[in-house]
Amino acid sequence: MFRIEAKSNPRFSEAGFIILLIIATMSISIGILQATPHIPIVLVISILIAYGLIKKVPFRELESGMIAGASAGLGAVFIFFFIGILISSWIMGGTIPTLIYYGFLTVSPSFFFAIVFFICSIVGISVGSSLTTVATVGVAFMGIAGAMDISLAITAGAIVSGAFFGDKMSPLSDTTNLASGTVGVDLFEHIKNMGWTTIPAFIISFVLYAILSPSGADTSFETVELFKEGLLSTGLIHWYTLLPIAVLVIMTFYKAPALITLAVVSIVGVGLAYIQEPLALSSVFQILFEGYVAETGNTKVDALLTRGGMNSMLFTIALVLLALTMGGLLFTLGIIQSILGKVESLFKSAGAVITGAALTGIGVNTLIGEQYLSILLTGEAFKAQFAKVGLAPKNLSRVMEDAGTVVNPLVPWSVCGIFIASVLDIPTTTYLPFAFFCLLGPILTVGFGWSGKTLTKLEK
């Protein structure tokens, strides 16, 4: 999308007014009127089309920009379809129920949030995918928290923080490879350099989650025991149902394409379900599309395990396509280019350039809702600026992740924000204050930028 040709050249003040109008429209509609994000985005798209026609941009050009923007998200759309299938297949095969059950055996309310954060971090690094981590162990931990009467908002914040720590620091992660590749930095050099901001953020987050964790005296375990009994009654709890996780780790280690990996582990999940209780092929297809429906008699267990399926992703996919369509219009109308051009001319010192890059990453995530785009745009816009102030490219790649990758799950209409809210069944704005790791990323990267510490100078 970042190569969409601008069909108009608005002044910075004009582009800034449009941006503020979009932010106000989205904020009022979602924050005050409690509207689902789809309608506000359609309203913004309508406003942009009207603006484009006033600027005498032919509708055919506007339409082409919308199509180009939406097409940029087709890869994510296919991933979402397969994740919907994965969730339903992992439930019917027993993988997710077993994860939840073993979680009940090992976790305690003491340091609960810190444990959730740590485990999600390890899983995230292992598989290199924040969304996969959230959709698997994240779902399990939400079930555990619900059964133990522990805050779902803080639990979701810990899940998101751990998942995105893992995604950010994993050599298997697509965003990590994209950030290093965009500015031409060695992958492992990039990961090593990110440690200066990522490790302090991890430690601070871990301590905060430990402090916020409830005491055993404040938590009822009667519900936990009933939950465990309900899970056992499904007949799905077996150690070998964790096989799909092992397959997932192996395939991601060998850098198999995400779609192929998700398809294979979903097939493994269906195979496990057939081994335990042979199902008619028509029933399997129905579950993969409509989702798994649990009938244990325990309402809490049924609510947790009744989920997944391609159909569950349609809400998410519609919103992603609308958000990217809006982004395509912003580029076609030259609004993004105008803002970026002004940003480039304003930041001259090392601290200012890093702040500008961070604000660009955050801004793109907020306006367009796409983390890959935030990485690509920030890299393209600030390569020359970092060189002018004598900073090595790996400083830029670090900022791109600190203020790009980890910010996306905090935006309600972003790709990650929409997906996480859908899978964990909790609004983005509810877990946002407790996603400490994601919130600390931009703060630390800007702070180190102004202090001059941990920055690598460009070799002469």
Q: Quick: pLDDT tens for 384-413.
A: 788 888 888 899 999 999 998 899 999 988
Kindly state the tokens that stand for 320. 């992603």
pLDDT confidence of residue 59: 94
H helices of 183-295, in order, are 187-212, 222-233, 243-253, 258-276, 281-290
- Hey, how many other C-beta atoms are within 10 angstroms of the C-beta on 312? 20
pLDDT greater than 80 at residue 331: yes
Least confident of 131-135, 154-158, 356-360, 403-407: 131-135
Residue with tokens 């690094």: 125
Residue 391 three-state SS: strand
pLDDT greater than 70 at residue 350: yes
Kindly state the tokens that stand for 381. 């816009």
Which of the pair, 380 or 349, is modelled with greater confidence?
349
CA distance 231 to 225: 10
pLDDT confidence of residue 226: 73
Which of the pair, 294 or 342, is modelled with greater confidence?
294
Beta bridge partners of 307: 292
| Average pLDDT value over all residues in the chain | 85
pLDDT greater than 60 at residue 221: no
The DSSP line for 98-144 is HHHHHHHHH--STTHHHHHHHHHHHHHHHH--HHHHIIIIIHHHHHH
Maximal CA-CA distance, the chain = 70
pLDDT greater than 50 at residue 217: no
Is this model's pTM higher than 0.85 or not?
no
pLDDT greater than 70 at residue 216: no
pLDDT confidence of residue 31: 64
The torsion angles phi and psi of 411, rounded to 5 degrees, stand at: -100, 120
